[in-house]
Chains A and B, each alone.
Chain A
């Protein structure tokens, strides 16, 4: 009588399952859409919030000169868009109700790429302090000067200068 050997046949089948087939390179792909939004922005920072000219003898100090005011300009705009920094005085330098020093005598010197090197303040028309093209950030300095004349009435004269950065 012959004894069946099915266990051997099953083992062979298992070996076939475990053998190493020849694998061809397989690939699968997927795509993801990416969107980044870049909107217009303008940011301006000044190194000083106030400038004071201490009293001085006009013969000794003929011109009051401030410490340089650091100006940082950051703007995001269209490609080639004009970025403009202007300054506008809220009036003349005034002391009390009647005494004033004409704002046009308060001049500036500026340094830094894109800054207007020299200018005079104005109370009716904003004066361009800097002009750039396109997005970016720049730094410069702004120094104010005022002639120290014997003709001034005594007093404490004040004015506010408003800086405006525009990026379309």
Chain B
């Protein structure tokens, strides 16, 4: 009498042998792999600053410490839209004094990335892609330097959102 092997053990043995046995028994093995949607975003710097400068000599101040490196990882359907946006929490604010967030602009590098202007009202597109993958790019920020600003230390927070549909 032939002894019946457990299907999983037999499956492993088949692969270990590297060939199909000459004789055997038909069995089905079901492999389930769950691949769910996932989005992950990393930003190289948690803070940027624009140092004071003479508006006549530096009309647009570049942020320090330089370009921000953005890494977006997304797992989505083959044609799923993957979008990276940024929105300011408010205008630049120093006490009662404000400077429009739109006076901050950026120049982007990287596939799918685009240049833009910051907004406190609407999330602005930083990058867009189709399908799953890992994408990297940089943003270099500039601050429009005007004589009309009241003195102060102005702050806001930029929130990035990576969405994978």
Contacts and interface: CB of A to CB of B under 8 A. Distances in A.
B164 A5 contact: no
Given A25-B163, A26-B39, A38 B147 contact: no
B116 interface: no
Interface of A: 1-7, 9, 12-13, 16-17, 20-21, 23-41, 43, 74-79, 81, 134-137
B46 A32 contact: yes
Contacts of B52: 37-39
A78 B151 contact: yes
B28 A9 contact: yes
A39 B52 CA distance: 6
22 contacts: A3-B24, A6-B14, A13-B29, A16-B30, A17-B33, A20-B78, A21-B36, A23-B75, A28-B39, A28-B40, A30-B42, A30-B159, A31-B46, A32-B157, A34-B141, A35-B48, A37-B153, A38-B99, A38-B154, A41-B147, A76-B147, A78-B152
Contacts of A26: 37-39, 74-76, 163-164
Contacts, number: 189
A25 B141 CA distance: 29
Contacts of B141: 34
Interface of B: 11, 14, 20-43, 45-52, 54-56, 61, 63, 68, 74-78, 80, 88, 92, 94, 96-97, 99, 104, 141, 143, 147-165
A71 B63 CA distance: 33
A4 B21 contact: yes
Nearest to A80: B150
Contact of B148 (A25, A32, A40, A135): A135
Contacts of B150: 38, 76-79, 81, 134-135
Contacts of A79: 96-97, 150
Contact of A29 (B14, B35, B153, B160): B160
B77 A20 contact: yes
Q: Which of A7, A16, A20, A29 has the most chain B CB atoms closer than 10 A to its own CB?
A: A29
A29 B24 contact: no
A59 B155 CA distance: 65
B157 A30 contact: no
Contacts of A6: 11, 14, 20, 24, 27, 29
B29 A9 contact: yes
